[in-house]
């Protein structure tokens, strides 16, 4: 599939509701268990998504589209949620994510991005030169990846309970 901003917005606009439906009213075991040492729980992943809405996608898009000479992005703290989410319930994080995403999609709309803008570049601190189309496509796939990750983490909670059916469930193999 070729990148299309409207197709990306289809995914980006539905992610908050998808995650809210998926995670609301679940017991702590579903929300806070992970896959083992140095892995994330669904709660951690939502905190990570909240942090990204604050510091990543739109911030970086604006840098790319700016007239500034230096278009280097600030490094993204992939673990900021460890502190930022403390004391917040999953419902608070989901509401914050939904609100921030809505705000960011409105901000995206106000940028009036044209086809020519997609090739404009910024500088990622680790990856080097990237363009706006790549950033927006990555935002979309990032959402889908974390939805899949949440499903996998939750599925693995029953790994030892499946008996022989475990062999048929590919979600457990990663």
Structure confidence at residue 60 (pLDDT)? 97
| Beta pairing partners, 121 | 131
Residue 54's CATH number = 1.20.120.450
The mean of the pLDDT values for the chain is: 96
Residue 79 is predicted with a pLDDT of: 78
Residue 74: count other Cβ atoms within 10 Å of its Cβ: 11
Q: Give 89-113 pLDDT, tens digit per residue.
A: 999 999 999 999 999 999 999 999 9
Q: What is the pLDDT of residue 82?
A: 81
Q: Is the pTM of this model over 0.85?
A: yes
Predicted confidence (pLDDT) per residue in 35-65, tens digit: 999 999 999 999 999 999 999 999 999 999 9
Contact (CB, 8 A) for 73 and 123 = yes
Structural domains in the chain (count):
1
Domain residue limits at 60:
5-172
Q: Which two tokens stand for residue 15?
A: 């992610």
- Please answer whether residues 101 and 16 qualify as being in contact, where contact means their C-beta atoms are separated by less than 8 angstroms: yes
pLDDT of residue 78: 83
Contacts of 129 (CB under 8 A, 6+ apart): 121, 122, 123
Closest listed residue to residue 41, CA positions, set 60, 21, 27: 27
What pLDDT shows up at residue 80? 84
Among 18, 27, 61, CA closest to 150: 18
């Amino acid at each position: 599939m070729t990148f299309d901003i409207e197709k990306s917005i289809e995914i980006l606009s539905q992610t908050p509701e998808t995650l809210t439906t998926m995670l609301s009213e679940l017991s702590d075991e579903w929300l806070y268990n992970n896959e083992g040492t140095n892995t994330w729980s669904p709660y951690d992943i939502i905190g990570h998504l909240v942090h990204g809405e604050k510091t990543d996608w739109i911030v970086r898009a604006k840098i790319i589209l700016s007239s500034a000479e230096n278009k280097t992005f600030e490094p993204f703290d992939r673990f900021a949620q460890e502190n930022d989410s403390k004391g917040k319930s999953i419902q608070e994080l989901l509401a914050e994510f939904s609100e921030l995403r809505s705000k960011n999609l409105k901000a995206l709309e106000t940028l009036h991005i044209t086809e020519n803008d997609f090739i404009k570049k910024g500088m990622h601190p680790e990856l080097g030169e990237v363009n706006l189309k790549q950033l927006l496509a990555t935002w979309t796939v990032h959402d889908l990846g974390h939805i899949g990750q949440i499903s996998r983490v939750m599925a693995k909670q029953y790994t030892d309970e499946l008996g022989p059916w475990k062999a048929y469930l590919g979600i457990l193999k990663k």
